[in-house]
Amino acid sequence: MREIQHPSRTVETAIQVNNLSFFYGATRALESVNMSIFENHVTAIIGPSGCGKSTFIKALNRISELEGSVKTEGEVQLYGQNIYHPQVNLNHLRRQVGMVFQKPNPFPMSIYKNVTYGVEIGEEKVSRSELDNIVETALQGAALWNEVKDKLHKSALGLSGGQQQRLCIARALAVKPKVLLMDEPCSALDPIATMKIEDLMHSLRNDLTIAIVTHNMQQAARISDYTAFFSTDESRIGRMVEFGETKQIFSFPVDTRTNDYVSGRFG
């Protein structure tokens, strides 16, 4: 793997992945992934269908364990703490490392309750006025406040797809995560809704760290600071082939497989 040099700035590592392998039952889906996800930056995960992108990001907050008989080897450190340590509290971990999925999945309840859900199931008692504050801040943060401020108690299911996705982002932001994982968050959205989410990612990285899976090469090039290219060989096992600054991956990829993929010859 190429080393990343940052001569002009110091970049903190939010997540460090060391030799991560992942199995569904006896089938290995990922082999020995090593990479860093840098704080306050956007990292894009790209690669052909089935190469393990979703598996990889779901392993970063252990949501992968909800898929039944799975096994993880290696280490994922969140600010130096291994999230696979037996004493890790999974609720706490998933608040620190939030996730937004491909298909918007608002809960069948009001817009307000969607945003406060994670806060209300937490251990601390939060007053009504604090909740009001959290809702406004999270919806502002997700660039949805102006569109919904007059209908906070209406069902979230009445929103458009793009609004629902921003609501899911607001729901994730409400518990103040350190890292936000996004798995193809725009693939079900029209170009205008997509642009709003892209703008949002750009501003959110001032406060948190984002890892996003995308099939859209232009999107990866537009929004990310770093890019990781994943692929499989005949064995169907996913591997991280190349990681670097996005400019380098798209303009001067080192590996021919990366070059073929980013230039549209494959995948």
Ligand X SMILES: Nc1ncnc2c1ncn2[C@@H]1O[C@H](COP(=O)(O)OP(=O)(O)OP(=O)(O)O)[C@@H](O)[C@H]1O
Residues that bind ligand X (CB under 6 A): 24, 29, 49-55, 67, 236, 238
Q: Among residues 54 and 114, whose Cβ is nearest to Mg ion?
A: 54
Q: Which does 64 bind (CB under 5 to 8 A by kind): ligand X, Mg ion, none?
A: none
Q: Which does 92 bind (CB under 5 to 8 A by kind): Mg ion, ligand X, none?
A: none
Q: Which is nearer to Mg ion, 36 or 54 (CB)?
A: 54
At closest approach, how far in Å is the CB of 73 from ligand X?
15
Alpha-carbon gap, residue 226 to 26, rounded angstroms: 32
Q: Which has the closest alpha carbon to 169: 212, 131, 130?
A: 212
Task: Report the b/e string of 138-168 with b at 16+ CB within 10 A.
Answer: bbebbbbbebbeeebeeebeebeebbbbbbb
**CA-to-CA distance for 182 and 4, rounded, in angstroms?**
23
Report in angstroms how near the CB of residue 71 gets to ligand X at its nearest: 12
The dihedrals phi and psi of 54, each to the nearest 5 degrees, come to -65, -40
Closest distance to ligand X from the beta carbon of 231 (Å)? 9
Q: How far is the CB of 194 from ligand X (least distance, A)?
A: 17
Q: Pick the closer one to ligand X by CB: 35 or 135.
A: 35
* Binding at 267: pick from ligand X, Mg ion, none (beta carbon under 5-8 Å per type): none
Of 192, 150, 193, 190, nearest to 168 by C-alpha is: 193
Binding partner at 185 among Mg ion, ligand X, none, C-beta below 5 to 8 Å by kind:
none
| Radius of gyration of the chain measured on its C-alpha atoms | 19
Pairing of strands 179-183, 209-213: parallel
Say whether residue 54 binds Mg ion (CB under 5 A): yes
> Quick one: 46 or 200, whose CB is closer to Mg ion?
46
Q: Which stretch binds Mg ion (CB under 5 A): 53-61, 114-122, 160-168, 253-261?
A: 53-61
Q: Judge whether 189 and 200 are in contact, CB under 8 Å.
A: no
- Cβ atoms of 74 and 32 within 8 Å: the answer is yes
CB atoms < 10 A from the CB of 81, how many? Answer: 12
- Least spacing, CB of residue 50 vs ligand X, in Å: 4
**Nearest approach, Cβ of residue 257 and Mg ion (Å):** 19
Question: Which of the choices Mg ion, ligand X, none does residue 50 contact, using the CB cut-off of 5 to 8 A by kind?
Answer: ligand X
Torsions phi, psi for 249 (to 5 deg)? -60, -40
Give residues in contact with Mg ion (CB under 5 A).
54
